[in-house]
Homo-oligomer: A and B are copies of this chain.
Amino acid sequence: MTDTLAMLPSGIDTYRQPVVYMHEDCHICRSEGFAAETRIRVDLRDRWIIATLNVVARGQWLAVEKAALSVSAWEALKAQAGDRARFSHPEPPVSSSAIRAKAYGGRLKREDFAAIIRDTLDNRLSDLDLAAFITASAGNRLDEGETVALTREMQAAGETLDWGSEAVLDKHCVGGLPGNRTTPIVVAIVAAAGHLIPKTSSRAITSPAGTADTMEVMAPVALDAAALRKVVEAEGGCVVWGGGLNLSPADDHFIRIERPLDFDSTGQLVASVLSKKAAVGATDVLIDMPVGPTAKVRSAQAAASLGSRLSSVGQAIGLRVAIHESDGTAPVGRGIGPALEAADVLAVLRRAPGAPTDLRERALDLAGRLLDLAPGAESGEGRAQAETLLDTGAAEAKFLAICAAQGGFHEPGEAPQRIAMTAGVSGYLTAIDNRLIARIAKLAGAPRQQRAGVRLLVRVGEGVEKGQPLYEIHAETTGELAYARVYAEAHIGALTLSEDTA
């Protein structure tokens, strides 16, 4: 066959974008008219991918009648050196017209979303196409019916777990509040109370840490569906990474594009959250929604609008959704970044002296409301029950049992590079800008570097002296530490000090 080439691994890591390297004199490039950046279908046995072509000049590392693959392309095809693959033009993605219609402000139908999700999972859509779909859905550009359709199709594209139980509880926090890592505590309390709470979490999208990133510091989170079921059957609860399952598989593709674009979409957010809740088999979902001027949800109006969309879409797909608005004006706990947040979680579960009381209170509020949602619960009793389970150490024991069931508990460590940022004036700390402080933590390396981030040393409302440390930046490398520090010094508005004139 003249349309096949022997393949080799290029060893080039292009992250998730599959790339195929061909020699500029390769006969297939000539006969098929392939040029740099052409999208090419590569077939090997029963697997195929769509990859982007990079053309290698003669005299370089690639032989003329060979094709090399990027790391992710090689893995996706499960190729062996010397395998001959077939190279062809892919069919145009059928969902392009739906994305175009949405960009022009049109309304999509269920089959349009199904086509977009199918083409996304088949990698037929380029990153540009996905960026267009995300942008065309930004803000409030998906209406309720579209959001229901997207949610259903995202769920239908993956597996759905069935627990054979009347009530399966779940929670979700609409992000944007650094350090708000209540989930491991809430799961421990609710599971200790004897309820089912098979919690899946995501890694950070635009924040310095997702719950999965924080949990991963303490225990393995990349479990498959069978392993998740074993943990939940044994302990009642778990905190695992949703991306290791196949619950709403298109979501990871959307998130990969949303992350660098760094903007939100109500419809995408609702579909992302609820498709995964439905797929995990939840019946009752509590949504924690921190509201504040620099949080993800910035006003009571935005909270009401998002809450009502979550409830109505939940109802349409058969999920009971309760909304818990919380204070989103400042970070929660002290740590921002996976390991720093894990340390806060453990301090609360262990009732350590100095454990952040705001994190404890928030976790108790949420656990209490979840316990009240459970069938047969006496409404209003949940908060007291949650407090008892935490204070007796039952929640701590349950958390350690869950970690053990997930593969073993690890104590978080501290990053080697640290620097304290100090107050330029004496005064009171009146505000912390969530977005700026999160940005500093990200520049320090979070969440990619587990131990990187920010540790707050002062709470809003406290007085400080000029020169007193306000927070520490933690990093794995001096380069990242310097980069975060330069940004912090240029953005001292991350913390607002009102001068002490008393």
Contacts and interface: CB of A to CB of B under 8 A. Distances in A.
Interface string A420-447: 0000000000000000000000010100
A493 interface: no
Interface residues of A, number: 61
Contacts of A261: 128-129, 132
Interface stretch (A56-64, A211-219, A288-296): A56-64
B33 A126 contact: no
A13 B140 CA distance: 40
A452 B17 CA distance: 31
A89 interface: yes
Interface in A161-178: none
A501 interface: no
Nearest to A480: B33
Contact of A33 (B11, B15, B30, B476): B476
A285 B417 CA distance: 62
Number of copies: 2
A103 B10 contact: no
A199 to B, nearest CB: 28
A336 B32 CA distance: 20
B54 A13 contact: yes
Contacts of A140: 105
B477 A30 contact: yes
Nearest to A60: B11
Contact of A21 (B12, B33, B37): B12
A443 B92 CA distance: 11
B141 A105 contact: yes
Interface in A20-67: 21, 24, 30-33, 35-37, 54-61
A31 B479 contact: yes
A258 to B, nearest CB: 10
A119 interface: no
A257 interface: yes
Interface in A79-112: 89, 96, 100, 103-105
Given A10-B60, A33-B475, A103-B135, 11 more contacts: A11-B56, A12-B54, A15-B37, A17-B37, A33-B476, A96-B262, A100-B262, A100-B263, A103-B138, A131-B131, A132-B261
A54 B121 CA distance: 23
A278 interface: no
A11 B127 contact: no
Interface string A139-162: 111000000000000000000000
A36 B14 contact: yes
17 contacts: A10-B56, A11-B60, A12-B56, A15-B36, A32-B483, A57-B71, A61-B61, A100-B262, A104-B138, A104-B263, A127-B127, A127-B128, A128-B261, A131-B135, A132-B132, A132-B135, A135-B136
Interface string A382-410: 00000000000000000000000000000
A448 interface: yes
Given A11-B57, A12-B54, A260 B126 contact: yes
A126 to B, nearest CB: 6
Interface of A: 10-15, 17, 21, 24, 30-33, 35-37, 54-61, 70-71, 89, 96, 100, 103-105, 126-129, 131-132, 134-136, 138-141, 257, 260-263, 443, 445, 448-449, 475-480, 483
B449 A33 contact: yes
Contacts of A15: 35-37
A32 B104 contact: no
Closest 6 pairs between A and B when the two form their complex, measured CB to CB: A11-B57, A61-B61, A11-B60, A104-B139, A131-B131, A135-B135
A176 to B, nearest CB: 14
A302 to B, nearest CB: 12
Given A11-B56, A32-B477, A89 B139 contact: no
Interface centre among A13, A60, A100 (most CB of B within 10 A): A13
A448 B29 CA distance: 13
A150 to B, nearest CB: 17
Contact of A260 (B10, B55, B128, B483): B128
B89 A483 contact: yes
Contacts of A263: 100, 103-104, 132
Tell which of A61, A445, A476 has the most Cβ of chain B within 10 Å. A61
A223 to B, nearest CB: 24
Nearest to A91: B487
A35 B263 CA distance: 22
A25 B100 CA distance: 43
